[in-house]
């Protein structure tokens, strides 16, 4: 999520092009790694769609006139932040659901062991 915030501020700082490109690349890498890890848990495609749109805006910055670069990067950063937020919420929901299932099974086995005695 922090990488998305840094991306949103990036066009306003006017860093050299190489540093800006490196930061965008690192942010995309972080986004892909974290969201792909979450996708393996929750299997919700909408997070992947947000990630792909985010990457399209961030990479599309290099193909538009200079006056559109800042809006492209800000839009990409906001989409990345949204994807990260939704991914985190879905991951927590999967974990809570899984933990509840395990707890329910443990409680059930505990009850059945007491009944058998």
Compute CA distances 54 → 1, 95, 116, whole Å.
Answer: 13, 26, 57
Q: What is the pLDDT of residues 51-65, one digit of tens each?
A: 999 999 999 999 999
In this structure, how many other beta carbons lie within 10 angstroms of the beta carbon of residue 44?
A: 15
Domain map of the chain by residue range? Answer: 2-89
Separation between Cα atoms, residue 68 and residue 62, nearest integer Å: 10
Whether the full predicted model's pTM is greater than 0.75, yes or no, is no
14 — phi, psi (to 5°)?
A: 60, 60
Q: What is the pLDDT of residues 77-94, one digit of tens each?
A: 999 999 999 999 998 887
Separation between Cα atoms, residue 26 and residue 16, nearest integer Å: 16
Q: Average of pLDDT values for 17-27?
A: 86
């Amino acid at each position: 999520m922090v990488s998305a915030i840094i991306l949103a501020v990036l066009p306003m700082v006017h860093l050299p092009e190489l540093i800006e490109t490196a930061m965008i690349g690192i942010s995309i890498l972080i986004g892909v790694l974290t969201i792909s890890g979450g996708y393996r848990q929750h299997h919700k495609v909408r997070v992947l769609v947000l990630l792909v749109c985010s990457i399209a805006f961030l990479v599309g910055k290099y193909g538009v006139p200079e006056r559109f670069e800042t809006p492209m990067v800000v839009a990409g950063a906001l989409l990345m932040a949204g994807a990260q937020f939704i991914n985190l919420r879905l991951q927590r929901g999967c974990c809570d659901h899984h933990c509840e299932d395990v707890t329910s099974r443990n409680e059930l086995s505990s009850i059945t062991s007491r009944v058998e005695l």
